[in-house]
A = this chain, B = another copy of it.
Amino acid sequence: MTSYNFSAGPGVLPSSVIQQIRKDLEQEENSHYSILEISHRSAKFEQIIAHAEKRLRELMAIPADYAVLFIQGGGSLQFEMLPLNLANQKKKIAVLDSGNFANKAAKAAEAVGKSVEIVGSSKADKYRFLPELPGDFQAEQYDYLHITTNNTIEGSTYHQDNLPQTTGHLVADMSSNILAEPYDVTKFSAIFAGAQKNLGPAGVTVAIIKKDWLAEQKITGVGPMMRYQSYIDKDSMYNTPPVFSIYALSLVLDWVSDQGGVAQMYQNNQKKAEKLYQYLDESDFYQVPVQGADRSLTNVVFTTGDADLDRKISQQADQEGIHNLAGHRSVGGFRASLYNAQPMAAVDTLIAFLERAKQEN
């Protein structure tokens, strides 16, 4: 039985990448010198990490005045590194509260001693749409505006043509839709993304930082591991990097490139998401809470409106090899994550299952 994995992260990777990893391990098996055992100072790894950076720069058209860094600790550590490194003039940041992770970022910035202002929120409306920047937003009062491009739990996205317009620095948590649709990097002063959705296995996070902005900062009381400059100075090898995770990420980037790059990913993701949203919208059984324009291509959130029934159907799905369909524990319902590596066959199988579940319930 083919199974499908709708996990919101760590999520599905391209099958060919899993195969490549397995083959590489097989070939290296008795060498005592596999990718799991080599020094980060080895020529082999230096090539891998340089290649990964180059590929990501190509795929996202990242200009030379941005650093591309590989850091451990996930998006949550970036919630702390960003304000420590980049909120040193006003010591105050603005956050658009579009969901759970925007809130976590706000709380982390406060925890490290910065002021935080929630300049827009759709919390009162259960995040069914995205908060907009108020017309009288004063960018100069803040070091930067923090947004979450894709809200993994709530299923909404600031798409490329709908980004908040600010004259100040825009910082984006792109963890769950990096490489899922094309964003113009030059609109941002910093972007970060945990790998475990669209870039590779968990264990490495990409940070893309505008270097002249970082250079303006006066940073005190922050250790070297929490400073972007340490990673810039040492090509992400200030200390031992997560070698295997970066190797796997480089394979995923190659796969994206081979498939036709971000433009092709975007086209595939639109097809997958449109098919599923269309089915859900036309059914008289499932509802999508998020309004049309703000809907995510990577995390499709829906519900029958009956929490017990949602739970029952998710469990049934799991038994049929359709894994991790349950929504995040904080919101319930369903969530189908359609990351780049999710094949269209997964969507077709899911729709067929949902239709059966509808008939039976």
Query: Which residues of A does B touch, CB under 8 Å?
Result: 2-5, 7-13, 15, 18-19, 21-22, 25-26, 28-34, 36-40, 42, 72-77, 79-80, 107-108, 111-113, 194, 196, 200-204, 221-226, 238-245, 248, 323-324, 346
Contacts and interface: CB of A to CB of B under 8 A. Distances in A.
Nearest to A245: B203
A36 B7 contact: no
Interface of A is mostly: loop
B245 A80 contact: no
29 contacts: A5-B31, A5-B37, A7-B39, A8-B39, A10-B36, A10-B243, A15-B30, A15-B32, A18-B28, A18-B37, A19-B29, A21-B25, A22-B29, A39-B324, A72-B73, A72-B242, A73-B225, A74-B225, A74-B240, A76-B238, A76-B239, A80-B223, A108-B224, A111-B223, A112-B222, A202-B241, A203-B243, A203-B244, A242-B242
A181 B183 CA distance: 52
A196 to B, nearest CB: 6
A2 to B, nearest CB: 7
A335 B313 CA distance: 59
Which of A76, A79, A113: most chain B CB closer than 10 A? A76
Given A10-B38, A80-B225, A244-B244, A323 B33 contact: yes
Nearest to A111: B223
Contact of A18 (B4, B29, B324, B346): B29
A221 B30 contact: no
Contact of A245 (B76, B242, B324): B242
A54 to B, nearest CB: 22
B76 A225 contact: yes
Contacts of A8: 39
A-B CB proximity, top 7 nearest: A203-B242, A80-B223, A72-B72, A76-B239, A22-B25, A5-B32, A36-B201
B21 A3 contact: no
A21 B34 CA distance: 12
A142 B231 CA distance: 31
